[in-house]
Amino acid sequence: MFKRVAFQSYTSVTGNLARNAGCRRLASTKTLEETLREVIPPKQEQLKKLKAEHAQTVVGDVKVENIIGGMRGIKAMLWEASVLDPIEGIRFHGMSIPECREVLPPAPGGKEMTPESMLWLLMTGKVPTPQQSQQLSAELAEKGELPSFVEKLVDSFPKTLHPMTQLSMGVAALNHDSAFQAAYERGVKKTEYWAPTLEDCINLVAKLPSLAARIYRNVYYPDRPLVPIDRNLDLTGNYSNMLGFGNNENMTEYLRLYIALHGDHEGGNASAHTSHLVGSTLADPYLAYSAALNALAGPLHGLANQEVLRWQIAMQKEIGDTITHDNIKEYLWRTLKSGRVVPGYGHGVLRNPDPRFVALQDFCKTRPDLQASPTIQLVQQTAEVAPEVLKEHGKTKNPYPNVDAASGCVLYHYGLTEFKYYTVIFGVSRALGAVTQLVWARALGLPIERPKSYSMDALEKLIKN
Ligand SMILES: CC(C)(COP(=O)(O)OP(=O)(O)OC[C@H]1O[C@@H](n2cnc3c(N)ncnc32)[C@H](O)[C@@H]1OP(=O)(O)O)[C@@H](O)C(=O)NCCC(=O)NCCS
């Protein structure tokens, strides 16, 4: 039996939604919208001051190598929710992953922080109370069902269409009911853009598990009936249940941790940046996040988690039962000499082992069944060997494991073996950071993004002059 969570009282995320949905809430518990209404004005003031007093302060140089090197290292975006330090890793409003695991409320009966708690932290910069987090869970369950035309659309896709393409198309179609688009057409004031954006963002986060689970069912288990949303479960409890893992509390806890800690990784990564770029045109959150999912579907970005598993299983087949550092080393060299990258290693910003990898390993270390898994053992041993091999290879600036080196192996162990689906779970997760930025970009009135580009001839002319 899957775990049932009892909520004593709950509310809608927005005051309006609460009234519409007829939800009850405790007077002492502030909603997400109410909390945002408090934290937005000081941030608006902070931005005003920055503009007035420091608009001309230089924060870095742009060299030709940055322009031809994928803009690596250029400090060029405002992103409030998290900052990535190359050595320390990610911090969410200043909080490290171990700190978040310590203080962000878990689901009732669970231990790991929930995506709801992380979303609250990202949006507001504050740690929610357990009650606030549970209210948000209830709100998301309330809003989790898909419109029937989206269900029909997704059901019409061929099974052979990549799950990420299906997710992106499903998310784009949700814009049919966009509150922001409707408000914009009504002529809502610019200062109020963020409220209907928040409404869309909460709807999007709420509907992602149903959409993602439907895709999983259609592609891999077409004869299995779909489980409806249980209003008493948290977001991940429902997602796990709909995927068919509701009776495995370890798997559900892993999904909570994975979705929460993978939710944001500052703004410059391809999917987050895409969401912000598209959102900056005032496209609604569904269109912005659908575009982000297309970036996430690239093998150098989100698709790496499916590639890691594919590579790891091929290694396991080749090495057999006797896993030694020597035969892992040999396999690593064979991968590199064939001109391929070692998936799950390296990073555009990080220069140390990824703390998200460390947290997932920590999860495995506390569970004997995971410790006994040959796949997980191989992941751990590869992490002991690969950095030295990659250093000797001498190309990558970061020879250490990133989150994707570990993310798929636990899913695999618990029976979610269809690794083409793994990036979809990443897509459910990464929405947390993307939607936070969409709300804040509107609250701060950030403009449309429009960096300057150069041709090589124009660059040469500039260099001469
Ligand atoms: C993440 C990644 C795309 C970052 O790319 P980047 O910022 O260009 O990384 P670097 O600056 O360190 O790359 C320098 C060189 O090292 C190579 N390199 C980087 N990571 C490598 C890896 N894991 N295996 C082998 N070579 C690697 C790059 O391909 C590049 O080679 P080139 O000069 O021939 O083009 C890259 O490390 C990678 O492809 N990793 C494997 C895929 C992966 O795990 N992605 C998930 C990221 S969270």
pLDDT tens over the chain, length 465 residues? 333 333 333 233 333 333 333 344 444 689 999 999 999 999 999 999 999 999 999 999 999 999 999 999 899 999 999 999 999 999 999 999 999 999 999 999 999 999 999 999 999 999 999 999 999 999 999 999 999 999 999 999 999 999 999 999 999 999 999 999 999 999 999 999 999 999 999 999 999 999 999 999 999 999 999 999 999 999 999 999 999 999 999 999 999 999 999 999 999 999 999 999 999 999 999 999 999 999 999 989 998 888 898 999 999 999 887 889 999 999 999 999 999 999 999 999 999 999 999 999 999 999 999 999 988 999 999 999 999 999 999 999 999 999 999 999 999 999 999 999 999 999 999 999 999 999 999 999 999 999 999 999 999 999 998
Query: Which residue out of 200, 234, 264, 404 is catalytically annotated?
Result: 404
Which residue of the set 162, 265, 301, 413 is catalytic?
A: 301
CB of residue 89 inside a 6 A radius of ligand 1: no
Q: Could you report the per-residue pLDDT of 123-156, keeping only the tens digit for each?
A: 999 999 999 999 999 999 999 999 999 999 999 9
Q: Which sequence spans correspond to the domains of the chain?
A: 1-55+99-465
Q: Which atom of ligand 1 is nearest to the CA of 398?
A: 12
Residue 330, classified by CB atoms within 10 Å of its CB into exposed (0-12), middle (13-18) or buried (19+), is: middle
Whether the CB of 90 sits within 6 Å of ligand 1: no
Atom of ligand 1 nearest to the CA of 308: 44
Instruction: Give φ, ψ of 349 to 5 degrees.
Output: -120, -45
Q: Active site includes 176?
A: no
Rounded distance from Cα 93 to ligand 1 centre (Å): 28
We find that the CATH architecture of domain 1-55+99-465 is Orthogonal Bundle (1.10)
Q: Is 146 left (phi over 0), alpha (psi -120 to 50) or beta?
A: beta
Q: Residue 179 is encoded by which pair of tokens? A: 């509150």
C-beta of 343 in contact with ligand 1 (< 6 A): yes
Does 402 sit in the ligand 1 pocket, CB within 6 Å?
Answer: yes
**Ligand 1 atom at shortest distance from the alpha carbon of 72:** 7
* R_g of the chain, CA atoms, integer Å: 22
Task: Supply the pLDDT for residue 31.
Answer: 94
Q: How many residues does the chain have?
A: 465
Burial (CB count <10 Å: 0-12, 13-18, 19+), residue 77: middle
Q: Is 268 close to ligand 1, i.e. is its CB under 6 Å away?
A: no
Sign of CA dihedral 81, 100, 435, 412: positive
CA 83, 84, 87, 93 dihedral sign is positive
Is the shortest distance between the CB of 427 and ligand 1 below 6 Å? no
Task: Please give the distance, rounded to the nearest whole angstrom, from the Cα atom of residue 446 to the centre of ligand 1.
Answer: 32
Report pLDDT for 28: 60
Q: Could you read off the pLDDT of 219-268 as tens digits, one per residue?
A: 999 999 999 999 999 999 999 999 999 999 999 999 999 999 999 999 99
Ligand 1 pocket member 300 (CB < 6 A): yes
Mutation pick for ligand 1 pocket among 347, 350, 429 (CB with most ligand atoms within 8 Å):
347
393 is catalytic: no
pLDDT of residue 440: 98
The reply to whether ligand 1 has any atom less than 6 angstroms from the CB of 311 is no
Nearest CA to ligand 1 atom 24: 341
Q: Answer yes or no: is the C-beta of 347 below 6 A from any ligand 1 atom.
A: yes
How far, in Å, from the CA of 270 to the mean position of ligand 1? 14
Cβ–Cβ < 8 Å for 361, 410: no
Residue 397 alpha carbon to ligand 1 centre in Å? 8
- Cα distances from 76 to residues 58, 71, 430, 449, in angstroms, run 11, 9, 21, 10
- Mutation pick for ligand 1 pocket among 396, 398, 426 (CB with most ligand atoms within 8 Å): 396
Query: Is the CB–ligand 1 distance for residue 49 below 6 Å?
Result: no
CA 6–ligand 1 middle distance (angstroms): 46
| CB 143 less than 6 A from any atom of ligand 1 | no
> 404 an active-site residue?
yes
End-to-end CA distance of the chain: 72
Contacts of 228 by beta carbon, 8 Å cutoff, 6+ apart: none
Helices 422-443 and 404-413, packing angle to 10 deg: 130
Q: Is 395 in the pocket of ligand 1 (CB under 6 A)?
A: yes
**Which two tokens mark 217?**
């069912």
Residue 317 CA to chain centroid, in angstroms?
31
Distance from the CA of 341 to the center of ligand 1, in angstroms? Answer: 7
CA of 392 to the centre of ligand 1 (A): 15
Rounded Cα gap, residues 410 and 370, in angstroms: 7
Of 162, 143, 145, 182, nearest in space to 303 by CA: 162
- The answer to whether 390 touches 345, Cβ cutoff 8 Å, is yes
Quote the ligand 1 centre to 353 CA distance (angstroms).
Answer: 14
Instruction: Give yes or no for residue 348 CB within 6 A of ligand 1.
Output: yes
- Which of these, 95, 433, 101, lies nearest to 254 by C-alpha position? 101
Residue 93 contacts by C-beta under 8 Å, 6 or more apart in sequence? 80, 81, 82, 121, 122, 125
Catalytic residue among 284, 347, 354, 413: 347
Distance, CA 347 to ligand 1 centroid (Å)?
6
